[in-house]
Amino acid sequence: MNKNLEATQEAALRKILADVPEASAYAPVTDSLNRATELGEDEIAAVLKSFSSMPQSTTVFANPALHKVAVDCSGTQITLNIRSFAIRGIVSESEIVADKLSPAAVIFAGLFGRRPETDDSGLDEEAVLSDLIDAKFYEFITTRRESLTGEQRLINQVAEFVKAFPEAGPEAAIQHFSTLRKLGIPDQKGINSTRSADSLLLEFIETHMENVAVGVISVYMRHQLRENTALHPQVLAMRATDLINAHQQSEKTAFQTCYSLLLGRDASTVEANILEQMGIIQTHHGSAGSNVVARYLATLHTGAVSDFFVAAQMALDGDRHFGAIHDMTAFINQIEPLDDEAREAAIRERMQSALPTFGHPEIAAAGRADEIQQDPRPAIYFNPFLEAIDNDDIQLNDSQKKRLAIVQRIYQIAFIEGMVRPGREDEPPLRLTPNTDFGGWAVQEGLDIYESDRTLLTYIFRGFGWMMDAREQLQMKIIRPVIPPHPDVIPKPTDDMTIANEVVALHNRMASTKAF
């Protein structure tokens, strides 16, 4: 355990980590099967039996369409059915947007099914969890482990890797060192339902924060090499160590230090706040492929915790998942040199197959009707960034302005104007709404985060969502939580227009002549 934690905090931490939320008692498939049998509906019962391995629903996450708002699309009123999300029915995105919750508070609610509290002795549960996360991150710079050339500090090993493979993204570094971790730590207990909840969760956090450190430090070192390719690995390690030590001494959280490493320099308060809100919102993503993989590996009782995170990360970077951010980069690079007419033709042509960062495989984010579903996250990411531009807290260079203007034009063509296919001129145009990757790509473009590093922020926070899923999965087998969530975790209708207003504000900005 962290030596800096007081004895009382250590005892409290163990108690907190051992707390596992109750499994859901809501079993819609089983209840429907029993009812069909009672009614003598044998065919229905036979079909339902094939789903009998999908028992009670998840209590971790729900994201129904909760808000309705009308926006103008070139004179046509389109109603957006805005998806909402809540973690365990406790944390909503509107509360995060209102800047009321820290990363530790959101993570706590997801892991333990309740809000953190402060007891009569003054022990702050949120602070205890935050301190643990910070400690496991900061100890990376002193950790030593065997490497291919003998025992040395991990940060020096990362420097040697980056020097040898300067174009490798952070995911490659994480996977490489995860393999070395497996080889260097004997008698691993892995993931199984016989382990105590506190020891498993502690290993989850230790492993994930070490992976996070590897990823962001490799990014920072590549920033350094782009400025001077002749830098020696020892210099890379020294510079990264100096930045991390300075942040720790300034009482920066692990997450705040990650933002600076990701940017390759000290993050301003405004930049850190933009990245933090974007990260917190991505802590959990319901049925996303990476969460499914995490659940499956927990069910398989994976032999090494390292494999749990690597496999989920590989799904995260898939082309039809958050790898769409990389797909958007390739598409922008392809059409940027074209003149306006050729560029617009290329955008419309790409709409006929798969336009990067638009549409969604599981929600009705595309259609010709006057109602269409909208993911609110692009607006949640985008609006603080746009406010910072307006306040001159962030300055864009000419290249960023041009590329973001292209992104704005993609939005206008895909959603505001829509696409009319030949032979279907009498029908309304097909419109696509942007998904989370649209906001993630554009904001990171504006913050000058290197192209290959734009899924790392998601990984940093999503790792805690995977832990939430694994803990539930070890209680009961759900695998893919697309099944109805427990009614208690579904967000309730509300008069709070915070998220709807965010979506409308971004739409109006994108519909303007020059958003940037």
Ordered alpha helix ranges (H), 115-196: 125-138, 154-164, 170-184
Q: What is the pLDDT at residue 26?
A: 79
- CB hemisphere CA count around 113 (13 angstroms): 16
Q: Residues with Cβ < 8 Å from 377, sequence gap 6 or more?
A: 93, 281, 282, 435, 436, 439
Q: Which residues contact residue 126 at a Cβ distance below 8 angstroms, ignoring those fewer than 6 apart?
A: 102, 104, 105, 108, 116
Is there a domain that residue 353 lies in? yes
Rg (CA), the chain: 24
What is the Cα–Cα distance from 262 to 212, expressed in whole angstroms?
A: 11
Residues 360, 93: Cα–Cα separation, whole Å = 19
Q: Identify whether 204 is part of a domain.
A: no
Asked if residue 276 has pLDDT above 50, the reply is yes
Q: For 247-256, write each residue's pLDDT tens digit.
A: 999 999 999 9
Find the mean pLDDT for residues 443-447: 97
Q: 346 in a domain, yes or no?
A: yes
Partners of residue 118 on adjacent β-strands: 124
Residue 241 is assigned to a structural domain of this protein: no
In a domain, 351, yes or no: yes
Q: What is the rounded distance in angstroms from the CA atom of residue 204 to the CA atom of residue 309? A: 9
In which band, very low, low, confident or very high, does the pLDDT at 444 lie, cut at 50, 70 and 90?
Answer: very high
User: pLDDT of 357-399, one tens digit each?
Assistant: 998 877 778 889 899 999 999 999 999 999 999 999 999 999 9
378 lies in some domain = yes
Predicted pLDDT at 446: 97
Confidence grade of residue 129 (pLDDT, cut at 50, 70, 90): very high
Cβ of 495: how many Cβ atoms within 10 Å? Answer: 4
pLDDT mean over 219-244: 98
Q: Is 447 left (phi over 0), alpha (psi -120 to 50) or beta?
A: alpha
Q: Which two tokens stand for residue 148?
A: 């291919």
Higher pLDDT, 113 or 13: 113
pLDDT of residue 359: 87
- Cα separation, 332 vs 352, whole angstroms: 17
CA distance 219 to 225: 10
Q: How many CA atoms lie within 13 A of 512 on its CB side?
A: 9
The Cα 115–Cα 127 span in angstroms is: 12
Please say if the pLDDT value at position 453 is more than 90: yes
Average model confidence (pLDDT) across the chain: 91
Tens of pLDDT, residues 296-328? 999 999 999 999 999 999 988 877 667 789 999
Considering the chain, what percentage of its residues have pLDDT values greater than 90?
A: 67
pLDDT at position 511 is 96
Nearest to 383 by CA among 262, 281, 492: 281
- Average pLDDT (455-471) is 95
Q: In the 8-state DSSP scheme, what is residue 419?
A: B
Lowest mean pLDDT segment, chosen from 113-117, 253-257, 311-315, 351-355: 351-355
Rounded to the nearest 10 degrees, the angle between the axes of helix 377-390 and helix 269-281 is: 170
Tokens matching residue 6: 């007081």
The mean pLDDT of 209-226, rounded to a whole number, is 98
Mind listing the pLDDT tens digit for each residue in 44-101? 888 877 766 655 678 888 888 889 999 999 999 999 999 988 899 899 999 999 888 9
pTM above 0.75, yes or no: yes
What's the DSSP call for residue 490?
Answer: S
**Parallel/antiparallel/unpaired status of strands 91-92 and 65-73:** unpaired
Amino acid at site 207? T
Q: Examine the pLDDT at 1 and tell me if it is beyond 50.
A: no
Distances from the Cα of 340 to the Cαs of 345, 358, 402, 446, 499, in angstroms?
9, 21, 12, 21, 33
The pLDDT tens digits for 2-23 are 555 566 667 778 888 888 888 8
pLDDT at 146: 86
| Phi, psi angle pair for 462, to nearest 5° | -65, -25
Q: Closest Cα partner for 79 from 439, 413, 503, 490?
A: 503
Listed in order, strand segments (DSSP E) in 229-364 are: none
Asked if pLDDT for residue 175 goes beyond 80, the answer is: yes
Q: Count the domains in the chain.
A: 1
CB distance 227 to 183 below 8 Å: no
Q: Residue 84: what pLDDT?
A: 87
Q: Average pLDDT, stretch 264-284? A: 96
Picking from 2, 21, 22, the residue whose alpha carbon sits closest to that of residue 12 is 2
pLDDT confidence tier of residue 425, bands split at 50, 70 and 90: confident
Residue 29 has pLDDT above 90, yes or no: no
User: What burial class does residue 205 get, using C-beta atoms within 10 Å of its C-beta: 0-12 exposed, 13-18 middle, 19+ buried?
Assistant: buried
116-142 mean pLDDT = 93
- Res 480: pLDDT: 63
Q: Do the Cβ atoms of 291 and 311 come closer than 8 Å?
A: no
What is the per-residue pLDDT for 379? 96
Residue 467 structure tokens:
């832990």
**182 vs 492, more confident:** 182
pLDDT at 339: 96
DSSP string of 178-228?
HHHHHHHS-S---S-TTS-HHHHHHHHHHHHHHHHHHHHHHHHHHHHHHH-
* Two structure tokens written together for 34: 């029993």
* Selection from 377, 476, 368 nearest residue 430 by Cα: 368
Cα(163)–Cα(335) distance, integer angstroms: 32
Residue 33 three-state SS:
helix
Contact 218, 156 (CB under 8 A): no
Task: Check residues 499 and 481 and name the one with the higher pLDDT.
Answer: 499
pLDDT score for 7: 64
Percent of the chain whose predicted confidence (pLDDT) is above 70: 95
Domain extent for 381: 324-447+499-511
Residue in the structure block whose two tokens are 């959280």:
253
Nearest to 106 by CA among 332, 277, 262, 355: 277
Q: Is residue 82 part of a domain?
A: no
What are residue 245's DSSP bridge partners?
none
Q: What is the pLDDT of residue 6?
A: 62
8 A C-beta contact, residue 200 and residue 19: no
**Residue 92 placed within a domain:** no
